[in-house]
Chains A and B, each alone.
Chain A
């Protein structure tokens, strides 16, 4: 089955700096890669996603890149703000088929210091 590795487990940056979180996946059939932000005690919120037919996607300060050959994808947050502090999870799935179960990475706790 799919296995998703996520690094780093913790990340501390100064306000205004960029943050990068990286994930690798094992199943080459996976074709959907969402990123979720989870604040303490709350539900994960989808912040951006990418499908395997796209190499990069951007939404304001957030961008995701995908390298299918290397089977890794990354989340980039620019001009970080204190409210970006949360735990971020990457996930992978073969969405579109009968499977489509999201397999999550272990999470990255991002701290943005003012």
Chain B
């Protein structure tokens, strides 16, 4: 199947700093990428839909100024958590839509101290 990578896999940062997470589709072009957040023992919650070359579409309740999404190319989308706080600690997973379905990245575990 298609391969999606995500970097970094794990990050620990101090409260108030910004963290950038990269999502890459390695062997296909993805016009649409999605960003999810998953808290422990909970389901995946869609944060935003990222379309190449245009502004991301955010789900209700997700602050676009806090979670900056850039989709500059057909193979790369980035999520920047600005001024991170402990409540932002979570598992962030991207997915890229290829032919037929979505393929998920391995996830980034963010811990904000």
Residues of A within 8 A of B (CB): 32, 34, 36, 41-46, 49, 89, 95, 100-107
The size class of the interface chain B forms with chain A is 20 to 34
Contact at A43–B105, with CB atoms within 8 Å? yes
Chain B: minimal CB distance from A101 (Å): 6
Query: Given the complex of chains A and B, what is the CA–CA distance between A34 and B34 in angstroms?
Result: 16
Known: A43-B93, A46-B1. A103 touches B104 (CB 8 A): no
CB-nearest residue of chain B relative to A4?
B43
State the total of A-B contacts with C-beta under 8 angstroms.
46
Residues of B within 8 A of A41 (CB): 91, 107, 109
Q: Indicate whether B89 reaches chain A with its CB closer than 8 angstroms.
A: no
Residues of B within 8 A of A36 (CB): 104
Query: Given the complex of chains A and B, what is the CA–CA distance between A102 and B44 in angstroms?
Result: 10
Most buried by B among A32, A41, A102: A102
Query: Given the complex of chains A and B, what is the CA–CA distance between A6 and B54 in angstroms?
Result: 33
Chain B: minimal CB distance from A36 (Å): 8
CB-nearest residue of chain B relative to A45?
B104
Instruction: Report B24-38 CB contacts with A as 1/0, cut-off 8 Å.
Output: 000000001010000
Contact at A102–B46, with CB atoms within 8 Å? yes
Contacting residue for A100 out of B44, B97, B104, B107, CB 8 A: B97
Query: Given the complex of chains A and B, what is the CA–CA distance between A95 and B109 in angstroms?
Result: 28
Contacting residue for B44 out of A45, A49, A89, CB 8 A: A89
Contact at A101–B43, with CB atoms within 8 Å? no
